[in-house]
Amino acid sequence: MPLQKYKLTIAYDGTDYEGWQARRAGRGIRHEIEKACENLFGIVPQIVSSSRTDAGVHAVGLVAHFSLSQEGTVMSGTQLQLALNSQLPPEIRIMRASRAKENFHARFDAVKKEYRYQLCNDAVMPPLLRQQAWHVPKPLDIHAMREAAAFLIGRHDFRAFTAKRQGKLLDSSRTLYECRITRRSSLITVQLTGEGFLYKMCRRIVGTLVQVGEGKITPAQIPSMLCDPAQYPSGMVAPAHGLILWKVTHRR
């Protein structure tokens, strides 16, 4: 039976979720979309995502794909978007939906991913930012943070900037195209763009940069972390709630 593949661009507030994929009986973003599909079509399709965000991490541009039988009426992208959103909880939304080529793959065709991490660098944390930004009340040296960030751009072994998980880490080399730090009033944004990221790599980079800004780590220590992570471990892992998967770029 012929199938129609669809591409979804998904946004969500990950505060109350265990991430894209839940452990065992927990709440996961993918599970909610699967339930919506089951309600609409009576089946649970295999949903493949470009990324697997961790518990508490947000997204405005995660990409996923799945296929539906073409038996009966084939839905347009707009129809699918409206139908899924009618079944999803308000903290999860399909921002765009479109028919995709048969050979499109949300994960393997991804060539670039952009994450943004938000920091509130002020004595008082605005309540509306409490679930989307990390409150760092101590003044930060932005110039030192930018100096440290420059060392991270390019292709490096980022073993020092990941966290342990089950299994053996075979290849820890990644290319980071951009590590840009901007400040607007008390809100600092760290923009990380790369070909892909290791487990908790974005959050450990941000945590390390914050410790540079606090004067606990010097920018000159960053190359040593990249070259000899066993002797020169990186800094802390930043909290999940400040991280947003912003955009995924796929090959045409």
* 8 Å CB contact between 82 and 37: no
Structure tokens at 79: 């129809």
Element (H, E) at 80: helix 77-87
Contacts of 215 (CB under 8 A, 6+ apart): 141, 144
For residue 152, the SS3 value is helix
Element (H, E) at 135: strand 134-135
Helix, strand, coil shares, percent, the chain, to 5:
25, 30, 40
Structure tokens at 178: 């951009």
Residue of 13, 54, 109, 157 marked active site: 54
| 157 a catalytic residue | no
Of 192, 176, 175, 238, the residue nearest 212 (C-alpha): 238
Which residues are the active-site residues? 54
